[in-house]
A = this chain, B = another copy of it.
Amino acid sequence: MPSSDHKFESAITNLKKERLRITEPRKALLQLLVEAPKPLSAEELHTTLGPGKFDLVTVYRNLEAFENAGIVNRIPTESGKSLYELNAERHHYHHIICRKCHRTEKLDTCEVAKLEKLASELGYSDVTHVLELYGVCESCQ
């Protein structure tokens, strides 16, 4: 398993590869994303960085840049808000999100391959998917 440090370095390398500049807000954001045990919203990232440290707009713009660079994945949720997570190339998984407390856990299998194949057969290219599970966790029932 790659260490956090390694993931961080690898993200930085990707930034360079895309000719994106290494700035303070970007380093801070990547650091957070690398350590995050679950996907975070732009708002959460912003406040976790510390009040007034960087602008929320900067967070949004960088998340967009990261997404285009393939460094992070954007996950639209039931509530309309998006979550962001580091694009973990080596392993693909999904989350179960509690509808009440928003607690989130990993589910480390993905069975969507069959559907993606179907889509390719229909002529679609660059097929990706967004899958989120929702439920009510034990302590919220």
Q: Which residues of A pack against B, CB within 8 Å?
A: 74, 76-78, 80, 82, 94, 96, 98-99, 105, 107, 109-116, 118-120, 122-138, 141
Contacts and interface: CB of A to CB of B under 8 A. Distances in A.
Contacts of A126: 99, 134-136
Contacts of A122: 96, 105, 137-138
A123 B139 CA distance: 9
Chain copies in the assembly? 2
A80 B78 contact: no
Contact of A124 (B74, B78, B132, B137): B137
Contacts of A113: 111
A45 B85 CA distance: 33
Given A96-B122, A115-B94, A78 B134 contact: no
A81 to B, nearest CB: 9
